[in-house]
């Protein structure tokens, strides 16, 4: 949740400044403000050097024999790491250019550069090297006195010995500044130096944890110094005065802090030009959702914290996109592995692993609901089908059409004549079967019913998600009430336009006639109410509210991506299974494994991107102001082992 912050003026004896700020850093509940005329100082070079060294060593495997070289300080060691990295980058570029030059002159072979110069002087002739595409090697194009050397990569190479330098049309001269032997020797020197620097860098990798410790110490010193420099003014060189922000939930800690020193404080009025920081305070699911919220934008102080809603809907969307219990089991296995290796001791990694646990259970739950495990789907003949929610709903749908003998029933009766002998929904699905050319049975109605149900659930989830977003700010956005009625009416009414039967109808929660009667009433009355309330709230500009109907409908339709990605994931899994099963076992299992790995990675990408997109675009559109400034107190950073 978003906790309000208070603006306070802190003042006291200047002699207490150092101790007060140091203790404030320990407590970590005060954000000191800076006068607009004062700018933040540049980050010290020592900090930049340590950060660069840590980044470099992050990708360097530690050596089994750490360096024995004694550096005057860890800072000197960090500087050495940066130097070695820069030298290696320079050598790598030089290696590339040398290899390119070697490839260019290699066709002319090894020769002595001194003899080459001597021959030209004694013979008073010019020796030149040429290359020409093999397709142009024609006596009518090339002079007859060119000496052929060889051919490589569709290029012919020649040497010319003439009294003067020549320029031959359509032929490229190869200028050799260093012979092949010298280039190869230089390349060996570069490789040797690169190897030496690489070994030294690996030996310094053991310093990485020490660099992190020193970096945190220097950052704490830097932040403390910055906070002190934020002091607005000093009175007669004896008193200091500074403004700060303190969350209401941290006032007790703040009061305990100021009592320890000769420091007083007063709450001051918040001015219009003040940019009030947003202080987020969450636990459990809210804390996990807070990490997601910060990815996109910081909530304004006028917002309601969306962390919990974003988290739980992200989990739901991710599970619907993955739509497979087997993949959920893999997520759980990864989470347990991280926990077993104790890689999630605290901080962001701990929250990530907690999220991974929830994702694993959610994917398993949704996969069990939809009846998919690593692309192995159930059929209505399986005993497992009796325990799957989506299969039971499909039976309800079949029973509804069978009982009423409606258009859907007649369609399947024509397509699969045995349907006319069905006695219940289960029997309907078993008799609506088709054979392919190989003689395999396909329960067509069962598959179609399941897909239609999952499609409608996606739209229903979208309608609920958008409605929650509208309701959140109902008291400051009156037309939202009308739009919620509009969404409900549309959900009840539009099946009549599409000649479809809604989930609410075949489940027996409402009759079709009642839905078709109530739906239009709610649809048009909701639209009218939204416009009316907009006119009351915004005067004449409220007429623009009517255009929001298109926006709401398009936003709800965008939730079809949940169904589309879930269906594509299932189809890919089934396809890879079929491909693997059709091959010899020693090849088939590799195809199945690689296929599921690809599908697993695509699922992660789709789940993360679209799970967050539906929150940040569709949901935020109706209940998020954003553009907030995160509360950043003066806080003591701590170094933990293994970070």
Q: Measure the CA–CA gap between 405 and 499, rounded to whole angstroms.
A: 15
Tokens of residue 588, six digits:
């088939």
φ and ψ at residue 301, rounded to 5 degrees: -65, -15
Q: Residue 617: is its pLDDT beyond 70?
A: yes
φ and ψ at residue 133, rounded to 5 degrees: -55, 140
pLDDT of residue 37: 45
Judge contact between 90 and 128, C-beta under 8 A. Answer: no
What are the E-state strand segments in 229-383? 233-235, 239-247, 263-267, 277-280, 372-373, 376-377
pLDDT of residue 368: 86
Residues 92 and 204 in one domain: yes
The mean per-residue pLDDT over the stretch 115-123 comes to: 83
pLDDT tens, position by position, 440-481? 778 888 889 999 999 999 999 999 999 999 999 888 888 999
Residue 403, C-beta contacts closer than 8 angstroms, at least 6 positions apart: none
DSSP character at residue 262: T
Tokens of residue 158, six digits:
């020649």
pLDDT of residue 6: 92
The mean per-residue pLDDT over the stretch 368-378 comes to: 83
Q: Residue 371: is its pLDDT beyond 70?
A: yes
What are the Cα distances from residue 12, in Å, to 8, 38, 229, 232, 239? 13, 21, 15, 12, 5
Judge contact between 565 and 624, C-beta under 8 A. Answer: no
3 state DSSP class of 539: helix
Residues 535 and 572 in one domain: no
Scanning the structure block, which residue is given the tokens 């360097």? 60
Mean pLDDT of the chain: 86
Judge contact between 601 and 589, C-beta under 8 A. Answer: no
pLDDT of residue 22: 86
Tokens of residue 175, six digits:
């200028």
Q: Measure the CA–CA gap between 570 and 78, rounded to whole angstroms.
A: 50
Q: Residue 67: is its pLDDT beyond 80?
A: no
pLDDT of residue 236: 53
φ and ψ at residue 605, rounded to 5 degrees: -60, -50
Judge contact between 345 and 640, C-beta under 8 A. Answer: yes
Residues 245 and 378 in one domain: no
DSSP assignment of 415-470 equals HSGGGGG--SHHHHHHHS-EE-TT--EE-HHHHHHHHHHHHHHHHHHHHHHHHHHH
Residues 63 and 194 in one domain: yes
**Kind of pairing between the strands at 629-630 and 277-280:** parallel
Residues 74 and 194 in one domain: yes
Tokens of residue 609, six digits:
């991107």
pLDDT of residue 39: 56
Q: Measure the CA–CA gap between 356 and 331, rounded to whole angstroms.
A: 6
Tokens of residue 259, six digits:
């009592």
pLDDT of residue 187: 92
Residue 527, C-beta contacts closer than 8 angstroms, at least 6 positions apart: 482, 486, 546, 549
Range among 125-134, 183-192, 201-210, 227-236 with highest mean pLDDT value: 183-192
Q: Does residue 50 form part of some domain?
A: no
Q: Measure the CA–CA gap between 516 and 573, rounded to whole angstroms.
A: 39
DSSP assignment of 193-209 equals HHHHHHHHHHHGGGGHH
Q: Measure the CA–CA gap between 195 and 200, rounded to whole angstroms.
A: 9
3 state DSSP class of 588: helix
The mean per-residue pLDDT over the stretch 587-611 comes to: 91
Judge contact between 308 and 286, C-beta under 8 A. Answer: yes
Q: For residues 40 and 508, which has the higher predicted lDDT (pLDDT)?
A: 508
φ and ψ at residue 477, rounded to 5 degrees: -135, 80
Q: Does residue 400 form part of some domain?
A: yes
Residues 618 and 485 in one domain: no
The mean per-residue pLDDT over the stretch 124-147 comes to: 78
pLDDT tens, position by position, 199-253? 888 888 888 888 888 888 787 777 777 776 766 555 556 777 788 899 999 999 8
Q: Measure the CA–CA gap between 326 and 363, rounded to whole angstroms.
A: 8
Q: Does residue 289 form part of some domain?
A: no
Residue 330, C-beta contacts closer than 8 angstroms, at least 6 positions apart: 360, 600
Q: Does residue 456 form part of some domain?
A: no
- Choosing from 548, 575, 592, the residue where a domain stops is 548
Residues 95 and 125 in one domain: no
Between 44-58, 277-291, 393-407, the lowest mean confidence (pLDDT) is in 44-58
Q: Is residue 381 left, alpha or beta, with left meaning phi > 0 and alpha meaning psi from -120 to 50?
A: alpha
Q: Measure the CA–CA gap between 370 and 377, rounded to whole angstroms.
A: 9
Q: Residue 639: is its pLDDT beyond 70?
A: no
Q: What does the H/E/C string look like for 562-580?
A: HHHHHHHHHHHHHHHHHHH
Nearest CA to 400 out of 495, 494, 489 is that of 495
Sheet order of strands, 155-162 included: 147-152, 155-162, 126-133, 172-173
**Kind of pairing between the strands at 372-373 and 376-377:** antiparallel
**Kind of pairing between the strands at 376-377 and 239-247:** unpaired
3 state DSSP class of 6: strand
Q: Does residue 296 form part of some domain?
A: no
Give strand pairing partners of 31: 245
DSSP character at residue 63: P
Q: Does residue 329 form part of some domain?
A: yes
Measure CA 435 to chain center.
Answer: 44
3 state DSSP class of 160: strand
Residues 23 and 154 in one domain: no
pLDDT tens, position by position, 14-23? 777 788 888 8
Q: For residues 49 and 223, which has the higher predicted lDDT (pLDDT)?
A: 49
Task: Tell me what percent of the residues of the chain surpass a pLDDT of 90.
Answer: 32
Task: Tell me what percent of the residues of the chain surpass a pLDDT of 70.
Answer: 94
Q: Measure the CA–CA gap between 22 and 20, rounded to whole angstroms.
A: 5
Judge contact between 322 and 602, C-beta under 8 A. Answer: no
Q: For residues 219 and 28, which has the higher predicted lDDT (pLDDT)?
A: 28
- Choosing from 515, 548, 581, the residue where a domain stops is 548
How many domains in the chain? 5
- Side-chain-side CA neighbours of residue 221 (13 Å): 10
DSSP assignment of 329-353 equals HHHHHHHHHHHHTT--SSHHHHHHH
Range among 169-173, 175-179, 438-442, 451-455 with highest mean pLDDT value: 451-455
- Return the CATH number at 24: 3.30.70.240
pLDDT of residue 299: 92
Residues 408 and 343 in one domain: yes
Domain coverage including residue 174: 111-178
Tokens of residue 490, six digits:
């549309």
Q: Does residue 171 form part of some domain?
A: yes
The model's pTM: 0.78
Residues 271 and 123 in one domain: no
Residues 484 and 403 in one domain: no
pLDDT of residue 643: 43
Q: Residue 358: is its pLDDT beyond 90?
A: yes
What are the Cα distances from residue 375, in Å, to 106, 438, 461, 599? 55, 21, 24, 10
pLDDT tens, position by position, 313-326? 999 999 999 988 99
Q: Does residue 301 form part of some domain?
A: no
Residues 89 and 201 in one domain: yes
């Amino acid at each position: 949740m978003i906790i309000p912050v208070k603006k306070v003026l802190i003042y006291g004896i200047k002699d207490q400044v150092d101790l007060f700020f140091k203790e404030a850093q320990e407590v970590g509940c005060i954000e000191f403000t800076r006068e607009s005329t004062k700018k933040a100082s540049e980050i010290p070079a020592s900090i930049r050097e340590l950060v660069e060294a840590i980044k470099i060593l992050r990708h360097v495997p530690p050596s089994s024999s750490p360096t024995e070289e004694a550096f005057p300080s860890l800072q000197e060691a960090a500087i050495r790491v940066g130097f070695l990295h820069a030298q290696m980058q320079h050598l790598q570029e030089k290696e590339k250019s040398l290899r390119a030059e070697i490839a260019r002159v290699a066709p002319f072979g090894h020769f002595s550069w001194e003899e080459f110069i001597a021959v030209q002087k004694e013979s008073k002739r010019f020796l030149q090297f040429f290359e020409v595409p093999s397709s142009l090697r024609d006596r009518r194009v090339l002079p007859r006195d060119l000496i052929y050397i060889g051919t490589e990569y569709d290029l012919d190479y020649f040497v010319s010995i003439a009294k003067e330098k020549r320029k031959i049309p359509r032929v490229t001269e190869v200028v050799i500044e260093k012979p092949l032997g010298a280039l190869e020797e230089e390349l060996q020197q570069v490789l040797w130096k690169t190897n030496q620097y690489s070994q030294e860098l690996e030996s310094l990798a053991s310093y990485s944890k020490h660099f992190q410790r020193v970096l945190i110490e220097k950052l704490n010193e830097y932040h403390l110094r910055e906070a002190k420099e934020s002091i607005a003014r000093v009175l007669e060189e004896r008193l200091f005065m500074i403004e700060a922000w303190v969350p209401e939930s941290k006032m007790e800690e703040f009061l305990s802090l100021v009592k320890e020193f000769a420091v007083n404080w007063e709450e001051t009025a918040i001015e219009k030009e003040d940019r009030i920081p947003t202080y987020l305070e969450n636990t459990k699911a809210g804390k996990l959702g807070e990490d997601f919220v910060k990815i996109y934008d910081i909530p304004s102080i006028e917002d309601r914290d969306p962390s919990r809603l974003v988290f739980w809907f992200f989990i739901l969307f991710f599970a619907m996109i993955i739509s497979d219990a087997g993949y959920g089991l893999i997520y759980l296995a990864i989470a347990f592995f991280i926990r077993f290796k104790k890689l999630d001791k605290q901080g962001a990694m701990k929250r990530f692993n907690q999220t991974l646990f929830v994702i694993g259970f959610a994917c398993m739950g949704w996969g069990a609901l939809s009846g998919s495990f690593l692309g192995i789907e159930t059929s209505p003949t399986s005993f497992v089908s009796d325990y799957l929610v989506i299969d039971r709903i499909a039976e309800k749908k079949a029973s509804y059409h069978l009982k009423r003998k409606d258009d859907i029933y007649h369609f399947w009766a024509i397509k699969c004549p045995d349907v006319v002998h069905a006695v219940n929904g289960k029997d309907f699905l078993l008799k609506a079967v088709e054979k392919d050319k190989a003689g395999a049975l396909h329960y067509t109605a069962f598959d179609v019913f399941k897909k239609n149900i999952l499609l409608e659930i996606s739209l229903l989830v979208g309608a609920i998600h958008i409605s929650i977003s509208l309701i959140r700010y109902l008291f400051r956005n009156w037309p939202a009430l009308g739009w919620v009625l509009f969404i409900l009416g549309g959900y009840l009414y539009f099946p009549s336009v599409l000649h479809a039967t809604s989930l609410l109808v075949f489940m027996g929660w409402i009759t079709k006639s009642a839905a078709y009667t109530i739906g239009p009433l709610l649809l048009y009355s909701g639209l009218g109410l939204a416009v009316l309330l907009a006119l009351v709230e915004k005067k004449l500009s409220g007429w623009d509210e009517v255009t929001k109907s298109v926006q709401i409908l398009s936003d709800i339709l965008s939730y079809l991506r949940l169904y589309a990605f879930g269906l594509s994931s299932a189809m890919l899994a089934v396809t890879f299974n079929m491909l693997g099963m059709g091959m010899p076992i020693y090849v088939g299992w590799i195809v199945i494994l690689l296929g599921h790995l690809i599908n697993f990675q695509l699922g992660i990408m789709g789940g993360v991107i679209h799970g967050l997109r539906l929150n940040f675009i569709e949901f935020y559109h109706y209940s998020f102001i954003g553009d907030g400034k995160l509360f950043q107190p003066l806080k003591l950073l701590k170094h933990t082992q293994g970070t």
